[in-house]
Amino acid sequence: EAQVTQNPRYLITVTGKKLTVTCSQNMNHEYMSWYRQDPGLGLRQIYYSMNVEVTDKGDVPEGYKVSRKEKRNFPLILESPSPNQTSLYFCASILRVKGAEQYFGPGTRLTVT
Amino acid sequence: GENVEQHPSTLSVQEGDSAVIKCTYSDSASNYFPWYKQELGKGPQLIIDIRSNVGEKKDQRIAVTLNKTAKHFSLHITETQPEDSAVYFCAASIPEYGNKLVFGAGTILRVKS
């Protein structure tokens, strides 16, 4: 079954404690992306990756890092989380064809206290 | 950059009635316009999309219309059912950034039975 998986699904942490949210897809998609969803703001892109070892900033990259060492995995790293990073995070993947469907993971709800 | 506005933010309809959600975009170069449905606790899922060379597309009870001159597109759901209750997002694609999607803020649709 074609899918995007994220772990963990829920995470409560404290300010400054480094964390990683994993994302994996089994569709051999080149393009992967991270979004955060906040009420009234829709989904905003954090980082994206066109292919292995190719990553770039989205609209709200501050406070986040990513890596793309393998095609299937695209982890999101928060080196020093802050309360304003409390949000719902989604990973997505897509075939590298303009206008192709994006597949979203189930989401990770992060709370930073 | 691209900006997508979505209205209304909430919409309540009686079961069997029609629902219409409207979006406007700012970048005339955008050429791909998907609509996503997000159910509680799940990631967004593509329900219909339209490309800039098409004015209207239908899929059973769902249709999308696009007016490139006015830079707006709309989602139409006919004969609404309780299972249509969800959050709906429109998005526009920026071709020069590959598959980057810019999302509207979302519409909460409630179908009352």
The answer to whether A113 and A16 have CB atoms below 8 angstroms apart is: no
Q: What confidence tens digit (pLDDT) does each residue in A50-93 have? A: 889 999 999 999 999 999 999 999 999 999 999 999 999 999 99
Name every chain B residue with its beta carbon within 8 A of the beta carbon of A92.
43
| Contact at CB, B103 and A48, closer than 8 angstroms | no
Chain A nearest-CA distance from B15, in A, is: 26
Chain A positions touching B45 (Cβ under 8 A) are 104
**Under an 8 A CB cutoff, do B103 and A58 touch?**
no
DSSP 8-state code for residue A107: -
Chain mean pLDDT for chain A: 93
Whole-number Å distance between alpha carbons of B14 and A53: 50
For residue A98, the model assigns a pLDDT of 60
Tens digits of residue pLDDT in B47-65 = 999 988 889 999 999 999 9
Q: Do B99 and A31 form a contact (C-beta atoms < 8 A)?
A: yes
For residues A95 and A105, which has the higher predicted lDDT (pLDDT)? A105
Question: Which pLDDT does position B51 carry in this prediction?
Answer: 87
CB-nearest to A104 from B4, B41, B44 is B44
Q: What phi, psi does A14 have (nearest 5°)? A: -110, 155
**How many contacts does A have with B, using Cβ atoms within 8 A?**
67
CA–CA gap between residue B111 and residue B14 (Å, rounded)? 6
Which of B7, B88, B99 would best serve as a mutation to test chain A binding (most A beta carbons within 10 A)? Answer: B99
Pairing of strands B101-103, B86-93: antiparallel
User: What mean pLDDT is predicted for residues A20-42?
Assistant: 93
- How far apart CA B100 and CA A93 sit, in angstroms, is 11
Q: How far is B99 from chain A (nearest CA, A)?
A: 6
Residues 6+ apart with CB under 8 A from A110: A11, A12, A13, A19, A21, A81, A85, A86, A87, A88, A89
Say yes or no to pLDDT of B94 above 80: no
Res B96 pLDDT > 90: no
User: What mean pLDDT comes out for the span B79-93?
Assistant: 96
Quick check: B31 pLDDT over 80? yes
The DSSP symbol for A73 reads B
Residue of B nearest to A33 (CA): B100
- State the pLDDT at residue B95: 66
